[in-house]
Structure 1
Amino acid sequence: MVTTTLPPSHETVLEFPDNFLLIDLCGEYDRNLADIEGRLSVQILRRGNRLTVLGEEGARAAAADTLNALYQRLESGKSVGAAEIEREIRMGGDEAGEAEQMEMFQGGPVEIKTRKKLVEPRTEAQKSYVRSLFEHELAFGIGPAGTGKTYLAVAVGVSMFIQGRVEKIILSRPAVEAGERLGFLPGDMKDKVDPYMQPLYDALNDFLPGKQVQKLIEEKQIEIAPLAFMRGRTLSRAYVVLDEAQNATQMQMKMFLTRLGEGSRMVITGDRTQIDLPRGVGSGLADAERLLKHIPKISFNYFTSKDVVRHPLVAAIIEAYDADGS
């Protein structure tokens, strides 16, 4: 149990009973504390099993909540690093965080368990998105690059596959020429389209051992293919992801959505600001959003620059382009 005392003025003192966990909380050379100091504009002093937080009241409270939440993670046997610090700060880091997550994820897990790592949503929008992926047969994730739309969708797919809830994973993208021409690329058709599919391979390799990914692909339990290859199929007992859906035409989107078969889950992700279709060709993502938004069993999840979990500069870049209307 963590106790908190409030000395005069601009100090908050936190006392942690387990010194071994406190070492992990502080991080090697106190780098976790330095990270929190930089993000929240506070100073953290360590003495014995106590941490003293110095700074403005609001910043002190946020730092104390973050430290308490991270310590609770360590008590439950979980690790703490830069990603967890960022997540707790984004989530508010309150002591009731785990209880709130459990309440929010009733009917679905708080964490996404894969073969290689435990994946946790870092923002409220991501948390709601993951919940909808477990609860809905058809879900949309719409927002800018770097918000984890595809990464979380693939993680949930791997988790469901491991649990036996689906029999295969199918990952697809429109092979739209964004300034490049497929015909001039070397190799056969697979060689030509694989560069478009690489982000999907990268996500899979983050969650499954490389040899297992290769074996599952060879056995057709994992398929990574351009959208055009979906025509004429009925996808049953499968977890299906359509990435970069803003580059699907209206006819392609209708074709893809009608592939949904018995026992399957389907996730469509896209960014409405990055359409590479020829001028005058309507985006299937915008069309589906307009037509399907009022169907109760379909989930639409939206992200903003505040949900960007790549380099902090990515969020600033997105906000600059949004402000300019580009």
Structure 2
Amino acid sequence: MALSTTTSPVASDDIQETLLEFPDNRILIDLCGEFDRNLAQIEHSLGLQILRRGNQLAIIGNGDERGRAAAILQTLYQRLEAGRSIDAGDIDGELRMNSAAKNTGARDGDQMELFKGGRVEIKTRKKLVEPRTEAQKTYVKSLFENELAFGIGPAGTGKTYLAVAVGVSMFIGGHVDKIILSRPAVEAGERLGFLPGDMKDKVDPYMQPLYDALNDFLPGKQVAKLIEDKRIEIAPLAFMRGRTLSNAFVVLDEAQNATTMQMKMFLTRLGEGSRMVITGDRSQVDLPRGVQSGLRDAERLLGNISKISFNYFTSKDVVRHPLVAAIIEAYEADEAT
């Protein structure tokens, strides 16, 4: 790909034009998207103009944003060259990450690979998963590097999704023998006994987000087979008592709803060769009034232990619908008043 930059102003001293030339016009069509919607997304986010001229894209705007747009378009084009697709989420991820750093040179064969711009990609059976914010990127790195890691922040920031992706990646790479996913069934309470079916039928609705994440990374039949063989376990937190979880990737989701005693019980299940991830949102505690959240206690008691990683997210890391971030910010502002 040839990149040339003109130095003459277009409308003012600050507005100039950067010209990108793409060798494969068919890939360029995919880069632009239907009705140039991919270009429109970048234009709207960076406040500039992108014009298509044959096999070239002219980026018109100020220097900083023009450079960002050029880097993003080049990265997305390379992604398409490699045979991968792009969608609005991928573009949003590039806009957030703006991968312009140098290749960090990860070793071949690593399950977590660092590519140009220091990007992180997690390999699963069905797709490659990429962090879309710097906080997510730091979080994923910490999951590979630490035996015990916490992910704390609001809904929609990818805490559980990325943790399950890393677990699947380590499982298919042979680094662990099983995946164990758990969460407190706080909403069920005593009502579990009145629900129809056996215990699995009663607790599965509370575990559904974990099933959804697994099915995103592994074929459905494989998930069912692995669950049948007990190489993947999805169970309420109460079922963890008395166990030692060895050679496993263990995730506790919705940890804000674990009591202090439950949290201590779960953390002390960690066995040899295992990794453990605790995720939660301190703003969504569903415990009865007066019952202390085990997640808050864990932060207070374990924060100074060097081999335990605490990773925090904010509304800026929300990767769901943009309204989710706005909703979270509104509630946070109200709580601050």
TM-score by shorter chain over 0.5: yes
Instruction: Output the CA distance in 2 between the equivalents of 1:41 and 1:136.
Output: 40
Structure 1 residues 76 and 44 mapped into 2: Cα distance closer, same or farther (>3 Å)?
same
1:16 aligns with 2:22: yes
Q: CA deviation at 1:83?
A: 1.8
Q: Which amino acid aligns with 1:25?
A: L
1:146 aligns with 2:156: yes
1:67 aligns with 2:73: yes
Structure 1 residues 131 and 194 mapped into 2: Cα distance closer, same or farther (>3 Å)?
same
**Contact conserved, 2:112 with 2:122, CA < 8 A, in 1?**
no
**Contact conserved, 1:108 with 1:135, CA < 8 A, in 2?**
no
Q: CA deviation at 1:253?
A: 0.4
Unaligned runs of 5+ in 2: 114-119
Instruction: Output the CA distance in 2 between the equivalents of 1:226 and 1:32.
Output: 42
Describe how 1:46-125 pairs up with structure 2 within 5 A. 46-94=52-100, 96=101, 99=103, 108-109=112-113, 110-125=120-135
Instruction: Output the CA distance in 1 between the equivalents of 2:243 and 2:234.
Output: 14
Partner residue in 1 for 2:312: 302
Describe how 1:1-326 pairs up with structure 2 within 5 A. 1-6=1-6, 7-9=8-10, 10=15, 11-94=17-100, 96=101, 99=103, 108-109=112-113, 110-177=120-187, 181-325=191-335
Aligned partner of residue 57 in structure 2, secondary structure: strand
* TM-score (structure 2 length as normaliser): 0.90
Q: Which amino acid aligns with 2:165?
A: A
**Contact conserved, 2:151 with 2:159, CA < 8 A, in 1?**
yes
Instruction: Output the CA distance in 1 between the equivalents of 2:62 and 2:105.
Output: 28
Aligned partner of residue 62 in structure 1, secondary structure: helix
Q: CA deviation at 1:21?
A: 2.6
**Contact conserved, 1:40 with 1:63, CA < 8 A, in 2?**
yes
Q: CA deviation at 1:25?
A: 1.5
* TM-score (structure 1 length as normaliser): 0.93
Partner residue in 1 for 2:117: none
Q: CA deviation at 1:100?
A: 5.3
Q: CA deviation at 1:167?
A: 0.5
Instruction: Output the CA distance in 1 between the equivalents of 2:275 and 2:301.
Output: 19
Q: CA deviation at 1:49?
A: 1.5
Instruction: Output the CA distance in 2 between the equivalents of 1:179 and 1:64.
Output: 54
RMSD over aligned Cα, in angstroms?
A: 2.1
Q: Which amino acid aligns with 2:92?
A: E
| Alpha-carbon displacement from aligned partner over 1:223-276 (angstroms, at most 9, x marks no partner) | 000000000000111110000000000000000000000101100000000000
Instruction: Output the CA distance in 2 between the equivalents of 1:313 and 1:228.
Output: 35
Q: Which amino acid aligns with 1:36?
A: I
Structure 1 residues 82 and 107 mapped into 2: Cα distance closer, same or farther (>3 Å)?
closer
| Alpha-carbon displacement from aligned partner over 1:176-206 (angstroms, at most 9, x marks no partner) | 0289943443333222211110000000000
Instruction: Output the CA distance in 2 between the equivalents of 1:81 and 1:101.
Output: 26
**Contact conserved, 2:111 with 2:123, CA < 8 A, in 1?**
no
Instruction: Output the CA distance in 1 between the equivalents of 2:202 and 2:4.
Output: 60
Q: Which amino acid aligns with 1:265?
A: R
| Alpha-carbon displacement from aligned partner over 1:97-128 (angstroms, at most 9, x marks no partner) | 6x25959xx99432111111110111000000
Aligned partner of residue 146 in structure 1, secondary structure: coil
Instruction: Output the CA distance in 2 between the equivalents of 1:14 and 1:182.
Output: 61
Q: CA deviation at 1:64?
A: 2.0
* Higher mean C-alpha displacement, 183-192 vs 301-310: 183-192
Q: Which amino acid aligns with 1:23?
A: I
**Contact conserved, 1:73 with 1:79, CA < 8 A, in 2?**
yes
Q: Which amino acid aligns with 2:318?
A: V
Aligned partner of residue 37 in structure 1, secondary structure: helix
Q: CA deviation at 1:84?
A: 1.6
Structure 1 residues 107 and 199 mapped into 2: Cα distance closer, same or farther (>3 Å)?
closer
Aligned partner of residue 19 in structure 2, secondary structure: strand
Structure 1 residues 112 and 192 mapped into 2: Cα distance closer, same or farther (>3 Å)?
same
Instruction: Output the CA distance in 1 between the equivalents of 2:4 and 2:90.
Output: 22
**Contact conserved, 1:2 with 1:68, CA < 8 A, in 2?**
no
Question: Size of the alignment, in residue pairs?
Answer: 322
**Contact conserved, 2:111 with 2:170, CA < 8 A, in 1?**
no
